[in-house]
Amino acid sequence: MARTKSFPSRSASSFGGTFLYGNASAVQYPSKAAAKGIRTVQTNRRLRPGALALREIRMYQKSTELLIRKLPFQRLVKEVAQELKPGLRMQGGAVMALQEATEAYMVGLFEDVGECALHANRVTILSKDLRLALRIRGEII
């Protein structure tokens, strides 16, 4: 009787998340399976809790583009400007400068808020962290 390799009792992660269909008596690894023409089905791997958030944080720290959409921000700025002085017109560069300054301020503020939460031995930021950060900065809500 010929010896055949049996399927391992582990999950699909031992194959790198790939299930193989074909000859059930022998385990085919993805590179060998591709050579023999056996079709493979890629499964989605479940990430550990917080891994996706850390990946997004790294992505946003590397990027230089603006985080707030341009058109909604422009509408908000024009709405506030019309309340203060009706008929006020703005150049596009002025709105972009306002958006850059706003985003720089907000990012710095949220860094401080995160540090306040860490100081309280928490990961989640709360409204009291925002109030504390503003109070430390000397700003009024």
Range of the domain at 77: 51-137
33 and 76 belong to one structural domain: no
pLDDT digits 0-9 by tens, 54-100: 899 899 889 889 999 999 999 999 999 999 999 999 999 999 999 99
Is the CB of residue 113 less than 8 Å from the CB of residue 130?
yes
The answer to the question of residue 7 being in a domain is no
Q: pLDDT value at position 15? A: 52
Tell me the per-residue pLDDT of 9-28, one tens digit each, with 9 for 90 and over.
655 555 555 555 555 555 55
Residues 82 and 37 in one domain: no
On whether residue 85 sits in a domain, the answer given is: yes
Q: pLDDT-derived band of residue 4, with 50, 70 and 90 as boundaries?
A: confident
**18 CB-near residues (< 8 Å, 6+ apart):** 12, 30, 40, 41, 42, 43
- pTM, to two decimals: 0.63
